[in-house]
Structure 1
Amino acid sequence: MSLADRLQLVRDRDTSPPRGAPVERAGDQPAPRAAAPRPRVGRDPFADLKRIVHAELVRSLGPKLYDADTTQSELEQQVRAALQVAVAATERPMSGTDRTRLTQEIADDILGYGPLEPFLSDPALTEVMVNGPEDIWVERDGHLTPVDAAFADEAHLRRTIDKIVGKVGRRVDEASPMVDARLPDGSRVNAVIPPLALDGSKITIRKFAPDPYTVDDLVAFGTLSAESAILLEACVRGRLNVLVSGGTGAGKTTTLNVLSSFIPHDERIVTIEDAAELRLHQDHVVRLESRPANIEGRGAVTIRDLVRNSLRMRPDRIVVGEIRDAAALDMLQAMNTGHDGSLSTVHANGPRDALSRVETMVMMAGLELPVRAIREQVASAVDIVIQQSRLKDGSRRLTSVTEVAGMEGDVITLQEVFRFDYSAGWDVDGRALGRLRSTGLRPRFLERLAERNVHVDPMLFTGAVQ
């Protein structure tokens, strides 16, 4: 059947009465009609046409779409040429603008991620959230807004999810309805499908800048101050163990990536993540990624397994994307057994909460360790806790740089070196005016840094150094 015949069938189906419906005759009183269903908001008038052209294109180019010898640019040229022929074969009148839009949307669906493609390529967006086939939101400048875009149906949304997770060797189905994955640029993806997700499948994409942020960028954004940036660079170069704490979406991974950039290029770095997001530019980086269980429930490789294995890989630094389970015990042991300068993140509301969470996660290892022994391990291993928050204006800021000073009795002693100044208030547009300021206290680890030939100007803690 030709493409034109298939289009005619669609038009006939849309205009003919439903099968079994009564036929009205002249003189008959019209039967009472049920209320018409509410039309879908923003329904694409070319939805049927797009579906048919898409199917025809996949049928004609099927083998070429998966040819390993075909480059991405060659594939794009073939798809766009075939699209022009397929669209030209339709008899439906459309303007040049509609024809261009139709061609672009089908190309995005085949070569990219359908309706999400324009948002993923927009550098101003930091998050894309899909709450169902017809409900898409984005985050811009820290604020959530709905967008005028939609998937054709649930099946279309599921195909897009399968395309995303399939590229990194993950799967999502009724037996495993949740998945963490990443896009080729490192952006983080989480997907949940029915039966866990009601009202359609959900996708949450945390985007990362095409060019990773540097410490100068974070200072310009106001995320941290110039003084704190100087101290943090010295801490990383001086091989102190750093824990970045904060809530979801606070910018912990971006800060961890910037801290990692301070590691000297002559050191061997092992990164361990659930989904590889860190982008380090050093010469000697070994990237490891955990693996979920297969369909038979076997073959899982956890963060804890990778941390244990990394100790046999002669690392100078171990960078763990996030500690969230019993891997905390192995990470603490690594920090306490010669692997100084390790970096990681943890979800917590504050520096003390972060250490409490690490303590709780160590207990998850099931070794029945005394609480005091765990706290001594934590106090000995972690040198600095960096707290990061997302303020109500949408900006991400470092709100505290805290030194872990040791133990007093059964309590871990903390000393805040830098603190965010909330007293500065807000401007007329609702933006925070505060910044990270020194508390005036000199950290005790300055002597350890000096022993490693890393020197910090004491005037840094008076606010005199800019």
Structure 2
Amino acid sequence: MASGIRVIHCTSTGCDEYGGFQDWIHQDAAGVIGETIDSDTVVIIEHQKRLMYFRRGMNANEMTETPLPEDGWESIYIGEMQPILLQIEELKGLVCNGPYCMVFLNDSEQGARFCFPLPRVQTPLEYSLLETLSTEVFKFQQEVDIVRLTIDQQIDQVIDNVTHHLASTIPELDCEKREYISEIVAHRSVAFGSFLPFLLMEETEEVFLDRPGTSLYFDHQRFGRCQTSVVIDREYVSRIVTLIRSEVNLHLDRRNPSLKADLTIQQMPLRISASIEPLSPEGLHLEIRRARRRAFSLRDLIANGTLTVEAASVLLLAVVSRFNITITGGPGAGKTTLLNALDMVTPRDWRKVYIEDASESRTIEGHHQVRFSVDPVDERVRSFTKEEEIVKSLHRSPDYLILGEIQTREHSEALFQAVVAGLKVMQTCHGDSALGLVSRWNDAHRIAKSSIGLMDLIVTIERFQPGRSRRRVTEISEICRDSRDGFVHFIGLNQVYTHRDGMVGRWSPNGPFMRTAKSLGLSSHEPALKTLMDLIRSGLDLESNLSNRPFLYNAHPMENLTQI
């Protein structure tokens, strides 16, 4: 249940004048602003001491005494952030994650949202200690080994050494604060240290750097696009480029000035896209996409409004029927998120082969999954290409071939070669609609309409607004075909679902749903579709139940679902 954040600014005049905490609360309250996920939050900013107190799950009117840790309050020394917190009244949210407390603020004058990371230290002494250790971090690094260590090993080494140092020199510092200080010092010691406070948040989607000398900004699932005060200068950029080269073992230089690669830092799977001169004439351009530790399920996507029950039912029936499915949408629309959610409801005994240049698929416990990693299209010299591996999959016996993103004409040619050969496929492709995607395949990629006719379903997903987290499936279109003189003929597209109208209900006799039902001796697939809708509305755990139910897979699921 959404509820408010109550912000209380305590000035020296206010606290002294009202003489007691209870009186001051009523006189100086800033009001309820912003939203949190699950409970009321009271935030007190005591400017004279540069302290911020906060506590979740209470009503400010119930407060009768000074906030204490034993009463559930946490305090943070805000230090140099104090002038900012005094000027900007609109606190949107607090997210405490590991050693950082992230403060989300609205700036009504600029019409923007800002995020500031605060170290979770409580006193000026702890803050000063953190800053001193950060400048002397070289004392805690083993220079002989540092060039051979991964970024995680470097972080772990510094954490261990700083923790040992603090335990021996300041034994009275409690374990939690010792851990927080050690982690922050370790983060600051590596090239990606400035990014880590934002990447560590589970709800961070993507972090951006436009060019050196500009500040980072990022997209957050709840708070949308957020600005930061972290500026990346050119000296820091050179460290980042060196780190990327060493971690991903790909070229990033003048001959190969862009790359896309996977990198895992602190158990966070990241996809990095980087460009440098001469392709990016102003210097390093960086996009870091963070994958959630737990992938969104179909039920999650229904809950957050990406899917309706009707749309989810159509997609479920298409997946269990092994239709050829392409998900299209713009950058950041959620194509891969939806693809992974559909992957999670496939039967456990299906053999799935994945071919990706960025490993965005998820390991699903108990499923048969075989992965092949190919070189990204940015790499000038490629040893393993997606188009070659797609063709090789004809001899790998996949029940479903999952291809990640189809980007080039060569990718499309290999995709449809696999489809014509009888493989069942799921993939994503950039586009703004089913109509636009078919035009791209036919006009730009020179795919014959007879081959396009063998694709079954195109799902379009969109992001409401740039920098906002809301997404939705806007249309589901079936591809219609017939045969004449022994050849496949592409008839056209038929919308079976739109976000505006819901289930359209006009099922083409030449579309994959009615064709499949007819081949099974059924009058329609709609009873099976209704059964799936009822199962979803019943609250059934789709991933653990549907993928194991024998009634779906002992015969064709469309046939079995009509008998439930």
What TM-score, normalized to structure 2? 0.60
Specify whether residues 299 and 353 from structure 1 end up closer, same or farther in structure 2 by C-alpha distance, changes over 3 A only: closer
Q: 1:197 to 1:100 in 2, by over 3 A?
A: farther
State the Cα deviation string for residues 287-329 of structure 1 (Å, max 9, x = none). Answer: 112125999x544322112212222222221111111111211
Higher relative contact order (CA 8 A, sep 6+): 1
User: What residue in structure 2 maps to residue 150 of structure 1?
Assistant: 231
- Give, in whole Å, the separation in 2 of the partners of 1:128 and 1:398: 24
Task: Kindly provide the amino acid, as one letter, of the partner of residue 168 in structure 1.
Answer: V
Match of 1:438 in 2: 503
- How far apart, in 1, do the equivalents of 2:411 and 2:309 lie? 33
**Cα displacement (A) at 1:460:** 5.1
Looking at structure 2, the residues matched to 464 and 294 of structure 1 have their Cα atoms a distance apart, in angstroms, of: 43
Find the counterpart in structure 2 of residue 183 from structure 1.
Answer: 263
Partner of 1:124: 203
Structure 1 residue identity aligned to 2:340: N
Structure 2 unaligned blocks of 5 or more: 1-115, 117-126, 171-176, 538-564
Which residue in the other structure is 2:250 paired with?
170
* Alignment partner of 1:402 out of 462, 477, 481: 477
User: 322-331 vs 190-199, which deviates more?
Assistant: 190-199
Counterpart residue identity of residue 127, structure 1: E
Amino acid at match of 1:350: S
For the Cα contact (< 8 Å) 2:353–2:401, is it kept in 1? yes
Equivalent position amino acid for 1:182 in 2: D
1:194 deviates by 2.8
Question: Aligned partners of 2:417, 2:164: CA distance in 1, in Å?
Answer: 58
Greater strand percent: which structure? 2
**Per-residue deviation at 1:113?**
2.2
2:345 to 257, 262, 276: 262
Say which is worse superposed, 280-289 or 119-128, in terms of deviation: 280-289
> After alignment, is 400-409 or 219-228 more displaced?
400-409
Equivalent residue for 1:391? Answer: 464
- 1:205 is aligned to 2:279: no
Which of the numbers 160, 173, 195 marks the counterpart of 2:240? 160
Deviation at 1:360, TM superposition (A): 3.8
Query: In 2, distance between residues paired with 1:266 and 1:388?
Result: 29
Deviation (angstroms), 1:50: 7.2
1:246 counterpart (329, 332, 357): 329
| Post-superposition offset of 1:263 | 2.1
CA offset digits 1:46-90 (Å, max 9, x no partner): 9996785244443x354277469x9799635434347759999xx
1:118 is aligned with what amino acid?
Answer: P
Match in the other structure for 1:377: 451
The structural deviation recorded for 1:112 is 7.5
3-state secondary structure, aligned to 1:321: strand
Contact 1:328–1:361 at 8 Å: present in 2 too?
A: no
How far is 1:245 from its partner? 0.7
Contact 1:186/1:278 (CA < 8 Å) preserved in 2? no
Matches within 5 A, 1:247-396: 247-281=330-364, 283-291=367-375, 298-325=381-408, 326-340=410-424, 342-360=425-443, 362-363=445-446, 374-379=448-453, 381-392=454-465, 394-396=469-471
Between the aligned residues of both structures, percent identity stands at 24
Q: Residue type matched to 1:126 in 2?
A: E
**Structure 1 residue 116 displacement after superposition:** 0.6
Find the counterpart in structure 2 of residue 425 from structure 1: none
Deviation at 1:239, TM superposition (A): 1.0
How far has the Cα of 1:261 moved from its partner? Answer: 1.6
CA distance in 2, matches of 1:456, 1:309: 34
TM-score scaled by structure 1? 0.72
Structure 1 residue 195: deviation in Å?
3.2
Task: Indicate the larger mover: 160-169 or 253-262.
Answer: 160-169
Q: CA deviation at 1:349?
A: 1.2
Cα gap change, 1:361 to 1:145, in 2 (>3 Å): same
**Aligned AA for 1:319?**
I
Q: Which moved more, 1:168-177 or 1:445-454?
A: 445-454
- Cα root mean square deviation, aligned: 3.9
Q: 1:198 to 1:99 in 2, by over 3 A?
A: farther
Give the 5 Å matches for 1:223-242.
223-242=306-325
